[in-house]
Amino acid sequence: MSLHQAAGSPVIELRGAGLTYPGPPPVEALQPCHLTVGRGEFVTIVGPSGAGKSTLLNIIGLLDIPTSGSYLLDGLDTGMLREADRTSLRGQRIGFVFQSFHLLPHRTACENVALTLVYQGVGRKERMARASRTLARVGLEHRVDALPTTLSGGERQRVAIARPLVGQPSLLLCDEPTGNLDTATTASLLGLLDELHSDGMTIVVITHDLAVAARGERTISIRDGVARERVPV
Ligand code: ADP
């Protein structure tokens, strides 16, 4: 199966995709929904706890397979993939940013970021050069050799964003990226996402914070497994 990107296709296309956990009892975590996200869009997904946000993120991130409908990533119908191809596609196209940063404590910021490229088979010298450039892109050129314990919460989150970015993903998926951050650090992080968006990155952010949600060009609201696009007033 070719994993090449179809020219001009949306990054994300959910066609009646939904997910019911088998149970018992079965839980319809996401009712069949349609969602298209074009290249370079910044979309936020908002909803209360238990609404289905993680379920949607896991489908988009190729961590879960929808039990109904289909999901096309970069024009490729992911339902047709073997498990090994799904894993490879996830590694190549999707960058994840989580609330807890998952940085390796005994590795420098640069080494943490460079790790992404180990899985892509890039040699050490080039890995470190690209990681260093990516850290500069997120405003951390002066902290490349710092250990995570010596970084502030906001700096650690920037490293956690640089880590997927270095692999040049099609899509940056952020799950509650501001959850542990104070107001000033949240503002700075949102500024960074705005910059990445201006540079053409496709970004999907899941949040329960309406102020964060408002930064997206489009907001999808989920409640009780039903996803709806919020129409701006
Ligand atoms: P959110 O991320 O908005 O908090 P989730 O997507 O995690 O919501 O969960 C949506 C619904 O699916 C909830 O009712 C949750 O209890 C249920 N759920 C999540 N994971 C599982 C699972 N593995 N098995 C059964 N039900 C689940």
Tell whether 1 is covered by a domain.
no
* pLDDT tens for each residue of 140-161: 999 999 999 999 888 998 999 9
Tell whether 3 is covered by a domain.
no
Mean pLDDT of all residues in 168-172: 91
Tell whether 184 is covered by a domain.
yes
Q: Is the pLDDT of residue 2 over 80?
A: no
Q: Is the pLDDT of residue 121 over 90?
A: no
Tell whether 218 is covered by a domain.
yes
Q: Whose CA is nearest to atom 1 of ligand 1?
A: 50
Using a 6 Å CB cutoff, which residues line ligand 1? 21, 27, 29, 47, 49-55
Instruction: Provide the domain count of the chain.
Output: 1
Mean pLDDT of all residues in 177-203: 85
Would you state the structure tokens that stand for residue 225, as one six-digit string?
């497994």
Measure 173 CA to ligand 1 centroid, in angstroms: 18
Tell whether 70 is covered by a domain.
yes
Q: Is the pLDDT of residue 4 over 60?
A: no
Could you tell me the CA-to-CA distances from 132 to 31, 91, 124, 138, 159 in Å, in that order? 42, 20, 12, 10, 11
Residue 215 sits in which domain range?
12-229
Q: Is the pLDDT of residue 231 over 70?
A: no
Measure 223 CA to ligand 1 centroid, in angstroms: 12
Tell whether 4 is covered by a domain.
no
Q: Is the pLDDT of residue 43 over 70?
A: yes
Q: Is the pLDDT of residue 193 over 60?
A: yes
Tell whether 224 is covered by a domain.
yes
Atom of ligand 1 nearest to the CA of 49: 4
Tell whether 143 is covered by a domain.
yes
CATH number at residue 175: 3.40.50.300
Mean pLDDT of all residues in 168-175: 91
- Beta carbons of 135 and 159 less than 8 angstroms apart: yes
- Beta carbons of 59 and 13 less than 8 angstroms apart: no
Distance CA(176)–CA(142), nearest Å, equals 26
The mean-pLDDT minimum among 11-15, 21-25, 88-92, 181-185 falls in 181-185
Which of 20, 54, 208, 209 best tests ligand 1's pocket when mutated (most atoms within 8 Å of CB)?
54
- Beta carbons of 154 and 189 less than 8 angstroms apart: yes
H or E element in which residue 196 lies: helix 183-198
